[in-house]
Amino acid sequence: MDSGYLFSTHFLTPLAHAHTSTSCSKIIFCSVGPLALTHSLSKQKIAGMYCVTAYKRRGSICSALHHLLCNLHLMLNNLSLNELGVLVLLLGFGGLFLKRLLADRRSPISNIPGPSPKSWLNGNLEQLFDPVAGWDFHESLMKRYGNTALVHGSFGQKILYTYDPKAMHSVLLQQNLTTQSPVDKPIFEESDGFIQSQLLIFGNGLLGTIGHQHRKQRKMLNPMFSLTHLREMGTQSRPLSAVRHSPTKMTVPVLFEIAHKMENALKTQSRNSSLPDKEINILSWLGRASLEMIGEAGLGYSFDPMMDESSSHPFSRIMKDLLPTIQRMLFLRDLLPVLVRLGTPKLRRWVVGLFPWKDLHDVRDMIDYMHSVASDIYNSKKRPLEQNINMPQRLLGTGKDLISILMKENERAATDQKLDKEEVISLIVYVLKHPSGNNEFKD
């Protein structure tokens, strides 16, 4: 065919099966084969085969574009939900591939030497984050390339790998040359992929925001980490009799109380064993104690009575499993800025459910559970504040925990400075997942 025809294809096949017939200004080609990108405007069937319709261009580019848009519209209308989900993913991968291809040509770090990628999909990420052989790979980079090298991320992304002090200072800080404020100003912002991943995991909190919203949250959180509040948080006192069943009226800090509970549980477990040498998973108990400490001191909420192995809270398992599971899916991080803009949240969640991928489903379920628990904690503290009544001791503790302080300060803040419900819940999720997060917030 000459260039005077615009082809609208549905299925393409070997030309040996083609039939032709003419009618007015259009020519019909019959063919069957691999799935093409568009449906035909008139889907006719000849000898059990789909047709390909070619419309003669009438000297106008606008007419050609009109036909193309009509084809696209018909294609989307005729797609099933499964086909639509696959199409969305293909468009996301295609857009990311083109973006990477164009960015690589303009990258200023392309001439830096470095190892070749292990694969185009994961680059060197598996080697960098391998829990067993990862350190050997880092050592080989240092010996072969010095303090700066070029490594590859997902889908061919170029990454600057450096521990050169001057280079790191240039990336992380902006040198302040004024005498009034000699402290350098932080200028580094995380990548879009990192921000989107934190937004999906923890919600609209500190790690999932940048700019004005991030600064507003930090301004609200800073008073929580004053020395006075931190000292009171760690020294909330309880009767010693509640821990050791002793008649004494002596009190102990809440963190010591949790340590004594763990001590009693380990002694009981050892005494009840029929074996002379009882093997105890101390790492599991330390994780449970860590969760209970941040729950009591940071949130005013008790998760674990610390009595025996069967009393472990599901959150303890999530603390242990979430990060390793996410690391196995690390290559998806660079796709997130594209994927989160495709369709609605409900559609994206439905597409996630279609994939036969256990890690993806496990991460979804763990995130859902974390936010469910955080919402329960928020509501248990919000209702008494609104009704101006005393909270139950189990839910409030002494009222000196971080979330109680935050919610009280938030009630007194100006309207434009208040944190909304989702932001507070996101903070609760982060504190639960990162018991050491207090120092990071303060820094």
Mean pLDDT lowest among 57-71, 87-101, 109-123, 390-404: 390-404
74 with 114, same domain: the answer is no
The string of pLDDT tens digits covering residues 20-42 is 333 333 333 333 333 333 333 33
Q: What is the predicted pLDDT for the residue at 216? A: 81
Tell me how far apart the alpha carbons of residues 334 and 122 are, in angstroms, rounded to a whole number: 10
Determine the 3-state secondary structure of 181 from DSSP. coil
Q: Is the pLDDT assigned to residue 309 strictly greater than 50? A: yes
Torsion angle, CA of 107/109/115/121, rounded to 10 degrees? -30
Q: What is the predicted pLDDT for the residue at 161? A: 92
Which amino acid appears at position 305 of this protein?
P
Mean pLDDT lowest among 95-104, 155-164, 173-182, 183-192: 173-182
Q: What is the predicted pLDDT for the residue at 41? A: 35
Q: Is the pLDDT assigned to residue 72 strictly greater than 80? A: no
286 with 412, same domain: the answer is yes
Tell me how far apart the alpha carbons of residues 111 and 439 are, in angstroms, rounded to a whole number: 39
* Angle between helix 402-412 and helix 358-387 axes, rounded to 10 deg: 60
Number of neighbours of residue 313 by Cβ within 10 angstroms: 17
Q: What is the predicted pLDDT for the residue at 24? A: 36
Q: What is the predicted pLDDT for the residue at 235? A: 56
* Domain-located, residue 402: yes
Instruction: Yes or no: say if 100 and 301 are a contact pair by the CB < 8 Å rule.
Output: no
Q: Is the pLDDT assigned to residue 19 strictly greater than 60? A: no
308 with 428, same domain: the answer is yes
Q: Would you state the structure tokens that stand for residue 193, as one six-digit string? A: 């992929």
Determine the 3-state secondary structure of 278 from DSSP. coil
* pLDDT band at 52; cut points 50, 70, 90: very low
285 with 357, same domain: the answer is yes
Higher pLDDT, 308 or 366: 366
Q: What is the predicted pLDDT for the residue at 177? A: 55
Report percent pLDDT > 70 for the chain: 66
Higher pLDDT, 120 or 137: 137
Q: Is the pLDDT assigned to residue 352 strictly greater than 80? A: yes
Choose one of 58, 78, 98: the last residue of a domain: 78
Segment 262-274 mean pLDDT: 82
328 with 395, same domain: the answer is yes
* Domain-located, residue 58: yes
Higher pLDDT, 402 or 159: 159
Q: What is the predicted pLDDT for the residue at 286? A: 86
Mean pLDDT (the chain) is 72
Higher pLDDT, 177 or 8: 177
* pLDDT band at 100; cut points 50, 70, 90: low
48 with 168, same domain: the answer is no
Segment 168-195 mean pLDDT: 73
Mean pLDDT lowest among 60-69, 254-263, 280-289, 349-358: 60-69
Q: What is the predicted pLDDT for the residue at 360? A: 92
* Domain-located, residue 22: yes
The string of pLDDT tens digits covering residues 190-240 is 888 888 888 888 888 877 787 778 888 887 777 666 777 666 665 555 544
Instruction: Yes or no: say if 152 and 119 are a contact pair by the CB < 8 Å rule.
Output: no
320 with 395, same domain: the answer is yes
Q: Which residues of 252-289 are buried (b: 16+ CB within 10 A; e: fewer)?
A: bebbbbbbbbbeebeeeeeeeeeeeeeeeeeeebebbb
Residues 6 or more apart whose CB falls under 8 angstroms from that of 242 comprise 257
Q: Would you state the structure tokens that stand for residue 253, as one six-digit string? A: 């800090």
* Domain-located, residue 356: yes
Please name the helix (run of DSSP H) or strand (run of DSSP E) that holds residue 148, with its range, or none. Answer: strand 148-152
* Domain-located, residue 261: yes
Q: Would you state the structure tokens that stand for residue 89, as one six-digit string? A: 């993913």
Tell me how far apart the alpha carbons of residues 370 and 426 are, in angstroms, rounded to a whole number: 10
Q: What is the predicted pLDDT for the residue at 339? A: 85
* Domain-located, residue 90: no
Q: Is the pLDDT assigned to residue 169 strictly greater than 80? A: yes
Residue 151: strand pairing partners: 159
Higher pLDDT, 128 or 13: 128
* Domain-located, residue 91: no
247 with 371, same domain: the answer is yes
420 with 379, same domain: the answer is yes
Q: What is the predicted pLDDT for the residue at 361? A: 93
The string of pLDDT tens digits covering residues 276-302 is 777 888 888 888 888 888 888 778 788
Distances in whole angstroms, Cα of residue 182 to Cα of each of 127, 175, 176: 40, 9, 6
* Domain-located, residue 291: yes
Q: Is the pLDDT assigned to residue 435 strictly greater than 70? A: no
Residues 6 or more apart whose CB falls under 8 angstroms from that of 111 comprise none
Total number of domains in the chain: 3
44 with 158, same domain: the answer is no
* pLDDT band at 324; cut points 50, 70, 90: confident
163 with 240, same domain: the answer is no
Q: What is the predicted pLDDT for the residue at 98? A: 73
Q: What is the predicted pLDDT for the residue at 49? A: 36
Q: Which domain holds residue 43?
A: 5-78
Higher pLDDT, 441 or 350: 350
Higher pLDDT, 6 or 278: 278
Global confidence as pTM: 0.62
Q: What is the predicted pLDDT for the residue at 145? A: 94
Tell me how far apart the alpha carbons of residues 109 and 145 are, in angstroms, rounded to a whole number: 14
268 with 358, same domain: the answer is yes
Q: What is the predicted pLDDT for the residue at 162? A: 92
